[in-house]
Structure 1
Amino acid sequence: MNYTTVGRTGIKVSNLCLGTMSFGGDADKETAREMFRASREAGINFFDTANVYNGGKSEEILGELIAEDNRDEIILTSKMFYPMSEDINAMGANRRNIIREVENSLQRLGTDYIDFYFVHMFDQNTPIEETLAALDQLQQDGKILYPAVSNWAAWQIATSLGISAKESLARFELIQPMYNLVKRQAETEILPLAEAHNLGVISYSPLGGGLLTGKYGVDKKPAKGRLVDQKRYSARYHDQINYQVADRFTKYAAEKDINPVTLAVAWVKSNPAITAPIIGGRNLEQLKDSLAAAEFEMSAEMRKEISNLSPTPAPATDRGEVLFDEFE
């Protein structure tokens, strides 16, 4: 396992992060323990969860597993935003909900601090200034070490960085966008922003909800799976081009005699802007092929070949032509 620094924080993390969304859901406590132990044995010290995952059960199970291990050696993230009850005020990135939810997460996790605390989504009803001020207070109180953000657009992150600098507030040090071979929008502005401002990046869904595992294609679909059973995943990847890319990618992996799961995670990991892809699974058997990506070193040539299997996103200005020669 290789380790890298999260942005400018000085914190060293494994080049893979174990996501625990399945803990307490598809993965019961014993299955979760197997995946946690296998991850630790592989050298992973980075674990991601959220208050909303399985109604808090993910945090509870992960907290118990960390207690059996060594909290001082674990880099832990959690998130808040989505509703945790039917209370009209039990959601959002306002001060009230942030303060309440960090306390609830700390209790479920059985710890007195969270290394990176994510705002899970952008809150259109709360000024960014209020969100940042609440997170800054949590940092001053020692309940979180660093604020983090997931699923924000580049302009929203950039705006927050400007506010943090102007108001001397703790800034976001880690971001969490979606990124895989068929969802490459992050390459347009989010990843360049992260590199420009030295932000850590842990990207989620490296397998495209299972699309890049070799089980899916234009004329191929398993009887069960996220893309079959869960509407949000089937809607996210429903475009036919995604299944065409899956076919091309599966064929490429077979030609190279590499497991497609390992290859898909390794492709994400090979992007220099990525600190660590978030991997996961329903059980240890599913997780093993993702874990294998930790030791897979992808060449620049292979990355280019794989990248050419899917459309490259248009540049942010939507002008890809070179103009400088016209003025020489």
Structure 2
Amino acid sequence: MEYTQLGRTGLKVSRIVLGTMNFGPLTNEADSHTIMDAALAAGVNFFDTANAYGSWGGSKGRTEEIIGSWFAKGGGRRDKTVLATKCYANMSPDGQESWPNHDRLSALNIRRSVDASLKRLGTNYIDLYQFHHVDRHTPWDEIWQAIDVLVQQGKILYAGSSNHAGWHITQANETAARRGSYGLVSEQCLYNLAERRAEMEVIPAAQAYGLGVIPWSPLQGGLLGGALRKEREGVAGRTTSGGRAAGALADPAVRARVQAYEDLADKHGLAPGEMALAWLLTRPGVTGPIVGPRTADQLASALRAVELKLPAELLDALDEIFPGPGPSPEAFAW
């Protein structure tokens, strides 16, 4: 496994991030533990979750509980893991009416959410605490006041953002600098070969402020994971079950690009999904993509991507199939 610093911090993390959103809804507790053990054995030390994960399986917080029961097995599992979780979503108990102050980024909800996550995770600290979405109603001064207290209490070590625009990152870290706070150290954003808008502002802002970029949905919901091949073979996948790529292949232009992409992977003897992950690992500012395996075999495939070294001609061909917006600020004007 290869490691890198998380943004401007001294924290070393693996180039592959284990995403846990499937733990609970799609992958049972025992299999989730098996996947986490396999990831740790392979050197993956960066695990990502969120307080609301499990909610689409009908149980908010269930994913954190599964991770907590894995930590409880001992064997140095917690000490070896860089743990990232998030808050923002409404955490009113399942089946009950949503109640004010059970969501967003007020100081009250941040404090409440951290304590609840610590209990579910069975740990006394969180390495990276992330804001799952922008809160348009809470000022950054209030957010940083809450985070500074939690850092002083030893409950969290670093703060990160997710789904923030470039100007949000700027606003957050300029406010932090004025307060003498450390500010954001990472941004978790939608970024992959087929969705490159982050290159226009988010990634340049992250690089300017020393944030590590953690791409989510690196296969665009299965679109870049051999979707057309699976379609021909009659293999059910996320592209046919309501994932991010559902319906995308109905567009002839998208279908043609995906076919060219899969043909290119075949030409170089590569699995499409592994090629997409390996491409992200070549991108400036990227710490590591989040992979969300439902099985141990899917984890093994993701791990192989770290070992791939894509030649320049292949990278050029990928840019031709999925051209990015170009460098900023030229992409906006001239």
Normalised to the residue count of structure 1, the TM-score between the two structures is 0.91
C-alpha displacement at 1:128, in angstroms? 2.1
State how many pairs are aligned.
Answer: 322
Check whether the contact 2:188–2:215 (CA below 8 A) recurs between aligned residues: yes
1:244 Cα deviation (Å)? Answer: 3.0
- Deviation of the 1:311 alpha carbon: 2.8
Equivalent position amino acid for 1:15 in 2: R
Residue in 2 aligned with 1:296? Answer: 308
How many Å apart are 1:144 and its aligned residue?
Answer: 0.5
1:245 Cα shift? 2.5
Tell me the secondary structure at the aligned position of residue 77 of structure 1. strand
Counterpart in the other structure of 1:82: 89
For structure 2, the residue ranges without an aligned partner over 5 or more in a row are 55-59, 93-97
Given the alignment, which residue of 129, 134, 141 partners 2:141?
A: 129
- Residues 182-240 of structure 1, C-alpha deviation per residue, up to 9 Å, x if partnerless? 110111111112222221121111111111111238x8696743333337653788765
Report what 1:36 is aligned to: 36
2:204 corresponds to which of 192, 203, 226:
192
- Per the alignment, residue 52 of structure 1 pairs with 52
Paired with 1:236 and 1:154, the residues of 2 have a C-alpha distance of: 27
Identify the residue that residue 6 of structure 1 maps to in structure 2.
Answer: 6
Show CA shifts across 1:232-285 (max 9, x none).
Answer: 653788765443322221111011111111111111111121011111222122
Amino acid of the structure 2 residue aligned with 1:23 = F
Which residue of structure 2 lines up, in the alignment, with residue 72 of structure 1?
Answer: 79
Sequence identity (%):
38
Of the structure 1 ranges 59-68 and 35-44, higher mean CA displacement relative to structure 2 is found in: 59-68
Q: Which is further off, 156-165 or 279-288?
A: 279-288
**1: distance between equivalents of 2:210 and 2:306?**
23
Does structure 2 retain, via aligned residues, the 8 Å contact 1:182–1:245?
A: no
CA separation in 2, counterparts of 1:123 and 1:239? 34
Aligned to 1:313: 325
Give the aligned residue type for 2:297: E
Partners of 1:121 and 1:196 in 2: CA distance:
21
Q: Letter of the aligned partner of 1:77 in structure 2?
A: A
C-alpha separation in 1, matches of 2:144 and 2:228 = 41
User: What is the RMSD computed on CA atoms of the aligned residues?
Assistant: 2.3
Asked if structure 2 preserves the Cα contact closer than 8 Å seen for 1:151 and 1:178, the reply is yes
Give the direction of change, closer, same or farther, for the CA distance of 1:320–1:188 in structure 2 (3 Å limit): closer
Change (3 A) 1:46 1:158: same
Residue 316 of structure 1, CA deviation: 4.6
The CA distance in 2 between the partners of 1:264 and 1:232, in whole Å, is 16
1:254 and 2:266 are equivalent in the alignment: yes
Aligned-partner Cα distance in 2 for 1:10–1:312: 31
1:46-195 alignment to 2 at 5 Å? 46-54=46-54, 55-68=60-73, 69-70=75-76, 71-85=78-92, 86-195=98-207
CA distance in 2, matches of 1:168, 1:124: 23
SS of match in other structure, 2:227: coil
Give the 3 Å change call, closer, same or farther, for CA 300–191 of structure 1 in structure 2.
Answer: farther
Q: Output the CA distance in 1 between the equivalents of 2:285 and 2:250.
A: 27
TM-score (structure 2 length as normaliser): 0.89
**Residue segments in structure 1 that go unaligned for 5+ positions in a row:** 323-328
Displacement of 1:307 in angstroms is 2.1
In structure 1, C-alpha distance between the alignment counterparts of 2:326 and 2:111, rounded to whole Å:
40
Comparing 237-246 with 96-105, which one deviates more in the overlay? 237-246
Deviation at 1:90, TM superposition (A): 1.2
Contact 2:221 2:244 in 1 (8 A): no
